A and B are shown apart, each in its own frame.
Chain A
C-alpha cells in the first residue's frame, strides 16, 4: 500500500493497522500526504516501484538544488545496476547514502521525500532488490 502520492512510503500488510493521522504515520517513516491510497497486489516488483519513484523525481524536479537535480537520475541508474546484479551490495549501500543525501540536503520536499518510497521498498521488500533478474519485471 502506498499512501500520500508518489512520494509516500510503501507500507506492508502488517503495517496497515495504523490510525490515519500525521503523527502515527510520521512515527513509522511514512506520510499522509494528499491522503490517496494505492493498493498493490503481490505481483508488483518493488524495485521497479523504487525506480519509478526516482524517475518521477527526475522528471518533476525543478533542477534548482543539486541533490534533487542529479540525485534521482543517479538513483535510477543505481537501482538498474542493483536489479541487474552489478556490485549489488555496494550499490545498495550507495542507494542508501543517496537517499540520505537527498533527504538531508534537498532544498524542498520533492527531493527530500523521494527517499520515502525508495527506502520503504528497500526495507520491506528486500527480495525484490535481490533476485529481480529471475523474476519477470512487471510494467517494464
Chain B
C-alpha cells in the first residue's frame, strides 16, 4: 500500500489524488486527511504537507500542529513494521516496562525511533484496550498478549 519513497524526491500525485477526493477540505478534515496521507506515504513528508496546504488553503502551521499533537502521525519516514508497546495501568503492573526495555535493547531504538535499516519503528501507547492480555505488544496489526522478554525476541525475529 505504501508508495515507495526516498526523502529527496516525493511523488506528489497520490497526495493530490487524496485532496481531490476529499475536496473541499476544511479545517475539520485535517485528521482524516493526514491519516490518508500517512497511509499512502508511510509518514508525512514535508513537501507533501506543504503542497496539500497550498492546494486546500489549510494553514501549514495548523496542519503541522495537528501532525505533531497526535502520536499516530509521523513527520519522519517510518520503518516497515511498527512495534507498539502498551504503557497502560494493567500492562504497567504486569511488567510492561521490562517488555519495553526488551524491545529497545533488541532493536536498538527508543520510543519514537526507527531502526537504521528502516525495518522497525517503535512507539509507546497509553492503552491498547486489551488489558486482559497484559502486557501487550502489537506489531503492525497483530496483537501479542502476555508477552515475556524471551517470547518477544522470537516474535520480533519473525519480522524483517
**Are A139 and B69 CB-contacts (below 8 A) given A36-B131, A38-B131?**
no
Q: Is A125 an interface residue (CB 8 A)?
A: no
Shortest C-beta distance, B128 to chain A (Å), equals 13
Asked if residues B126 and A56 are in contact (CB atoms below 8 Å), the reply is yes
Asked if B97 lies at the interface with its beta carbon under 8 angstroms from chain A, I say yes
**Residue of A60, A62, A139 with highest tally of chain B CB at under 10 A:** A139
> A2 contacts the other chain (Cβ, under 8 Å)?
yes
Cβ of A40 under 8 Å from chain B: yes
A6 near B89 with CB under 8 A, answer yes
**A52 engages B126 (CB within 8 Å):** no
- Interchain CB contact under 8 A, A60 and B92: no
B89 touches A139 (CB 8 A): no
Please, how many angstroms separate the alpha-carbon atoms of A140 and B26 in the complex? 45
Pair A38/B93 contact, Cβ less than 8 Å: yes
Known contacts A6-B127, A59-B126, A139-B97; decide if A52 and B69 are in contact (CB<8 Å): no
Chain B proximity mask over A39-69: 1 for CB below 8 Å, otherwise 0: 0100010000100100010011010000000
**Chain B contacts for A44, CB-based, 8 A:** 93
> Do residues A62 and B69 form an inter-chain contact, with CB atoms below 8 A?
yes
For residue A36, which residues in chain B have a CB less than 8 angstroms away from its CB? 131
**Residues from chain A with Cβ under 8 Å of B96 in the complex:** 139
A85 vs B131: C-alpha distance when bound (angstroms): 33
What is the CA–CA distance of A87 and B119 in the complex, to the nearest angstrom?
A: 47
A139 in contact with B90 given A38-B131, A59-B126, A60-B126 (CB within 8 Å): no
Given contacts A38-B89, A38-B90, A52-B89, contact A139 B95 (CB under 8 A): yes
- Minimal beta-carbon separation of A52 from chain B (angstroms): 6
Q: Which residue of A lies closest to B71 (CB)?
A: A59
B residues near A, CB below 8 A? 69, 87-90, 92-93, 95-97, 126-127, 131
Pairs across A and B, CB under 8 Å, 24 listed? A5-B89, A6-B88, A6-B89, A6-B126, A6-B127, A36-B131, A38-B90, A38-B93, A38-B131, A40-B93, A44-B93, A49-B89, A49-B93, A52-B89, A52-B92, A56-B89, A56-B126, A59-B126, A60-B126, A138-B93, A139-B93, A139-B96, A139-B97, A140-B97
Q: Known pairs A139-B93, A139-B95, A139-B96; list 5 more (Cβ under 8 Å).
A: A38-B93, A49-B93, A52-B89, A52-B92, A59-B126
